[in-house]
Structure 1
Amino acid sequence: MYKKLLYLFILIVLIGCKEKLTKVVKYYDNGSIERIYFLDSDSVKQGEVKIYFSNNRIKLKGKYRDGSFSDTIYHYRDEDKNIVETQNYYFNNGTYLYKDFYINGKIKQEGLSNKNDQRIGLWKNYDKDGNHHFTKEYKIIDGKEHVNQMWVTLPTGDTLTEGASIRYHFDKNKLQLTDSIYAFFQTDVSSFVLEDQEKTTVSVVLPKDYTQANFVPDFSNQPKDPDEKDGIPIIKIKSLKEHPNPMAVLQNPIDTTNYKKTVAFYWKPKRAGKDTIRGYFKEKLTLVDESKPIQLDKDQDSIITSYTKQIFFEFPVEVTKD
C-alpha cells in the first residue's frame, strides 16, 4: 500500500511540474500564417513547429528540443501535393542525417552532416530512377568541408574511371608493443587523366614522431609548404617502384602488380594504449620543360608546375604491453 501511495505521489508531482508552453503565431503581411511554434517559461523553443509558404502551403514541419531541431524535420516543395523536398533526422550530438528527393519522390542524395552543416562521411547520390550514381567521402580538413574520395558507379555496379580513390588496409588493429602493423596502399582511381598518369608519383605521409606530435583529427597541423616551415615534421614513404627491394616489404607478392602506384610499409608502435594512425596518400603530377636539364636542387628551373591530390585516412589501433 505504501509503495502505491508513493508512486501516486511521484506521479502527481511530475504532472504538476509539467511546464505549460506558450503558443506563438507569426503572420505574413497578407494575413496568412507564417509559422507556429511554442516557448517554455524561459522563452526557449520546445515541441512542434510548422512553417508555411505565404499561400498557406506547408513549408516545414518538425520539433524543437531546448531551442534546437530534434528528431525528423521535413521541408516541403511549394506544391499542392505536399511533396517532401528534404528530410533531416537530428541526433543528440548535433549531427543529422540529410536526405533530399526528386520531384517524383525518388531519393536524390543522402548523408551525414555535422552541427556546422558540413558534410561528413559517405554521401550517396542517385539518378531520377533511383539508381545509385556516385558516392563521395567527405572529411573536415583544416576546418573546411573536403571531398576526400569519390566513386562513380553504373547501375550494374561497375565503377567508372571518374573521381579519385585509393584502396588500403592495415593487417590488424590490435597488437603488442613489440609487434608491428603491415600497411598497404594503392591508387584505385587516379586523380589525373590517363595520359598524365605515367608522370605521377605516389607516397604516404605520416607524422615523423607521433609520440611527440600526431596529426589532429582535421589535419590542421599538417605541413603547409614543401619546406615544412609550418606544421609538424613528417616522413614520406615512397612507392615500391622507388624501393630498393619491394619484395622485402610486400607481405604477399599477389598484393600488387603495379609498384608505381603502390606504397607498402610496416608501422611499429612506440607507446601502449588506444591511438589513431593518421596520414594521407599523396598523388603528385609534375610537369617539366623537357628542353631544360633537370636540376637536383629545390629550385628546379625545368619544373613548369605540379599538381597534388591528398586522400586522408585514419585508422584506430590498440597497443598492449604484452
Structure 2
Amino acid sequence: MKPATPDQESVQEHRSVLLDSAVDYLVGRTDGRYVDGTFGRGGHSRLILSRLSENGELLGIDKDPVAVAVGQELTGQDSRFHMAHGSFAHLDQELDARGWPQADGILLDLGVSSPQLDDASRGFSFMREGPLDMRMNPQQPPSAATWLNTADEKQIADVIWQYGEERFSRRIARSVVSRRQEAPLETTRQLAELVSAAVPKKEKHKHPATRTFQAIRIFINRELEDLEIGLRVGVDRLAPGGRLVVISFHSLEDRIVKRFMRDLARGPQLPRGLPVTARETETPYRLVTKALKAETGEVSDNVRARSAVMRVLERRLDVSAKGDRE
C-alpha cells in the first residue's frame, strides 16, 4: 500500500504537547543517539534535532503511514534523522537494525494525534462523519467496523468497560449487536448516534460517545499492550545517564507509566530483617521530576494539552548494573 501524501498544512499547524519541556528533559548529550517513538508530524523530532550536534542522531518511529511519509521527507533534509514504520514496542529490532546498542534518550508521546483526529477519513473522531476505521496503521487489520460487526456482545462490552471505563458498556454492546443484525455499522456517525441513544445519563460537557470511541481505538491499536512492552524495552536499552520521557493523555496510560517508573526507581521491596546491604538493593533508575502538566498558556492554545501528564525516568550513571532488573 502506497503511503498517503502528508497534509502539509497539518504538519505546519500541529504543535506537539509539552514540546519544549519534553525535549529539555530528554536531550543531555548533544552528540547522543535519541529515539522519538511516536513521530507524529515531527514536532518533537525537529526540536530534538535543533539541540543535537552534527554527530548526534535521531530515530523516529510511527505506526501511521502518513506520519512515516512526513518522516521520510525529513530524512532527505537531515542526514542525522532516520525513520522507521512500526510500533515503539519493536524498539529492540529498530535499534539492532541500525547497530545502536543503546539510546541516550527515548520519548513516547502517547495516544492519537491531532492530525489523526482532524482527518475524518481516519475514523477516530465522533465529531466528524467518516468510515469507522480508527487504525493508526490502516495496513493492519481489523478496522473498528470489522471488529464491531463480528465480535460477540460480551467482548464488545468488556473492551468498552476495560479501555473506556464506560459504566453503560453492556447497554452499548447490546445496541451494537442489535443494530448490526439490521445492517452493518460503517460510519463514525452511526456509532456515535447509537451510543448516544444507549446511554441513559449524559455527562455535562462530554459527548456520550467519548469513552466508547477511546476504548475501541485503544483496543484496535493495541495501545496499552504496546506501551507495557515499549516501557520494558526502552529502559533496557537506555544508556547510563539516558532518560525515558513519556507523555500520557488519559488515566489508563498514565497509571501504567506511573507504576512502572515508580517500581524501577524504588527498587526491590524486600521484607524487613533480610541480611542484605543497601548497596545490594540499590536501583540504577531514578525519577527525575514529579509528574508535570502543561501550563495555562499552552492549555489555552491547545485544549488537548489539558489532560497531558509527563513523567521522566533516568538510568543513573553512578550505580552498578547489580541492581538492574533481571
TM-score band, normalised by shorter chain: under 0.3
Q: Which has the higher strand share?
A: 1
Normalised by the size of structure 2, how large is the TM-score? 0.26
Q: TM-score under structure 1 normalisation?
A: 0.26
Which entry has the higher C-alpha Rg, 1 or 2? Answer: 1
If asked which structure has higher relative contact order (CA below 8 Å, sep 6+), I would say 2
- Say which structure is richer in helix: 2
